Amino acid sequence: MAKPVIAIVGRPNVGKSTIFNRIVGERVSIVEDIPGVTRDRIYSSGEWLNYQFNVIDTGGIDIGDEPFLAQIRQQAEIAIDEADVIIFMTNGREGVTAADEEVAKILYRSKKPVVLAVNKVDNPDMRASVYDFYALGFGEPFPISGSHGLGLGDLLDAVAEHFKNLITEEYDEETIKFSLIGRPNVGKSSLVNALLGEERVIVSNIAGTTRDAVDTSYRYEGQDFVIIDTAGMRKKGKVYESTEKYSVLRALKAIDRSDVVLVVIDGEEGIIEQDKRIAGYAHEAGRAVVIVVNKWDAVEKDEKTMKDFEVKIRDHFQFLDYAPIVFLSAKTTRRIHTLLPQIVRASENHALRVQTTVLNDVIMDAVAMNPAPTDKGKRLKIYYATQVAVKPPAFAIFVNEPELMHFSYERFLQNRIRDAFGFEGTPIKIFSRARK
């Protein structure tokens, strides 16, 4: 089920990023964090009661040299385009300002539900000041304090009320959902067209779903696929579309809804820093990944070129050591048929559940071959292992003392699990737990 998306909007300094950080809290990453990706977070997941959702801090999306009012108007438009529920944030210490009214005007035009928050209401005496905010026309204002963490429960209750009315799209479990990410001009749209242009592809819709995203469903050799947010690659002609933060936001949303992410690289231009960041988003989200080197037709090649490029990729994207690499040309469609089998395999491995007995045989063989090192006279004892999750596969290893599990030994076990079960295309994770 796709998670609902909340956007926080409001003029600068009302406390949007403070509240964003409170709502998303400490993130429990299923795969390791990559520096540069975690920094500057404007999109993250949160949880309240039984609801899981994603949150956008629109204040983190700066729109070039646009004047102040144009910036906050565009941030409000992004919220309307990208979110299911909007938190409109104001400052109780300053009262209703002209800039708040500007934001309100944009939000009136949308059908999206808006919950009004009045921040910086740090103590109960200040609660009387919130009544002025009824004038903005969004019903009951919710007093909160980002600094003190007050009122957030009531605010999120009001937001979650709106989740109940959302129709979130649901694809069949058997359907493989994938998205294409990569910087502009690497050939994402061309690649989608090439895939859909294949013989025997039956495209069932390229229409809007219940959400704003436009997905493309198709069937190929009996397997259903959905390309997530295909239209996200088409231009709507809005000013903010060309900004870096907005494209990051779109990519993160698409990744979140996918099983498999294709990280598309321009083989002609080579790898640049931005590619690495984009690839990092897919890894951090714990999705299966296939690396696609496009425009291979435009590369002058000899028998070493592909191997050399592969070495470069492995060097730049060390965190994606599990991802297969496909070289192809969207333009000539050469080698395009090699892509789908990799997508299918990565997706299967992402959802793979291994047998507990076989898993334990693998772990015990590994331990016998390479016993855990001692630490200050104590030795790590491994009792048994079990798979606790899929998408991506995660394993709990029950031990005497989790602190004795060193990173390098965990790596060793992880590699043994990979050697035994494959898992090509998907990250996997190991947790050590004390046996009770």
354 is in an annotated binding site: no
Least distance to ligand GDP from the beta carbon of 93, Å? 7
CA pseudo-torsion sign 397, 403, 409, 411 = positive
Least distance to ligand GDP from the beta carbon of 100, Å? 12
185 is in an annotated binding site: yes
90 is in an annotated binding site: no
| DSSP codes joined into one string, 3-49 | PPEEEEE-STTSSHHHHHHHHH-S---SS---TTTSTT--EEEEEET
Alpha-carbon distance values, 102 to 68, 136, 200, 249, 258 (Å): 11, 10, 52, 24, 36
Size of the site for ligand GDP (CB under 6 A): 31
Distance of CA 64 to the CA centre of its chain: 24
Least distance to ligand GDP from the beta carbon of 306, Å? 15
Report if residue 338 touches ligand GDP, rule: CB under 6 A: no
Residue from 4, 5, 18, 260 touching ligand GDP (CB under 6 A): that is 18
Q: Closer CB to ligand GDP, residue 18 or residue 349? A: 18
Taking the alpha carbons at both ends of the chain, their separation in whole angstroms is: 34
Report if residue 24 touches ligand GDP, rule: CB under 6 A: no
Least distance to ligand GDP from the beta carbon of 46, Å? 16
Report if residue 305 touches ligand GDP, rule: CB under 6 A: no
**Other residues' Cβ atoms within 10 Å of the Cβ of residue 251:** 23
> Are 93 and 16 in contact, with CB atoms under 8 Å apart?
no
231 is in an annotated binding site: yes
12 is in an annotated binding site: yes
Report if residue 147 touches ligand GDP, rule: CB under 6 A: yes
Report if residue 350 touches ligand GDP, rule: CB under 6 A: no
The number of C-alpha atoms within 13 Å of 12 and in the hemisphere containing its C-beta is: 8
Report if residue 12 touches ligand GDP, rule: CB under 6 A: yes
Report if residue 330 touches ligand GDP, rule: CB under 6 A: yes
> Which amino acid would we find at residue 126?
M
What kind and span of H or E run contains 79? helix 68-82
Residue from 233, 249, 359, 417 touching ligand GDP (CB under 6 A): that is 233
Q: Closer CB to ligand GDP, residue 329 or residue 387? A: 329
Question: Which residues pair with residue 292 across a beta bridge?
Answer: 264, 326
Binding to ligand GDP by CB under 6 A, coded x per residue (else -) over 177-196, reads -----x-xxxxxxx------
Report if residue 117 touches ligand GDP, rule: CB under 6 A: no
Q: Closer CB to ligand GDP, residue 54 or residue 58? A: 58
C-alpha angle with apex 12: 10 to 17, nearest 5 degrees? 80
Most distant pair of Cα atoms in the chain: their distance: 76
Distance of CA 123 to the CA centre of its chain: 36
| From 145-153, 314-322, 416-424, 428-436, span contacting ligand GDP (CB under 6 A) | 145-153
Alpha-carbon distance values, 389 to 63, 285, 356, 393 (Å): 40, 14, 13, 5
Report if residue 75 touches ligand GDP, rule: CB under 6 A: no
Structure tokens at 241: 């579309």
Report if residue 119 touches ligand GDP, rule: CB under 6 A: yes
Alpha-carbon distance values, 244 to 61, 182, 184, 257 (Å): 9, 12, 10, 20
Q: Closer CB to ligand GDP, residue 120 or residue 287? A: 120
Report if residue 250 touches ligand GDP, rule: CB under 6 A: no
| From 98-106, 115-123, 282-290, 374-382, span contacting ligand GDP (CB under 6 A) | 115-123
Structure tokens at 330: 């969207």
96 is in an annotated binding site: no
Phi, psi of 60 (to 5 degrees): -80, -5
121 is in an annotated binding site: yes
Report if residue 143 touches ligand GDP, rule: CB under 6 A: no
Q: Closer CB to ligand GDP, residue 189 or residue 414? A: 189
Report if residue 141 touches ligand GDP, rule: CB under 6 A: no
Report if residue 62 touches ligand GDP, rule: CB under 6 A: no
Q: Closer CB to ligand GDP, residue 152 or residue 399? A: 152
Residue from 316, 331, 335, 416 touching ligand GDP (CB under 6 A): that is 331
| DSSP codes joined into one string, 199-226 | TTEEEEE-SB-SSS-B-EEEEETTEEEE
Binding positions for ligand GDP, rule: CB under 6 A: 10, 12-18, 59, 119-120, 122, 145-147, 182, 184-190, 233, 294-295, 297-298, 329-331
Residues at the annotated binding site for GTP?
10-17, 57-61, 119-122, 182-189, 229-233, 294-297
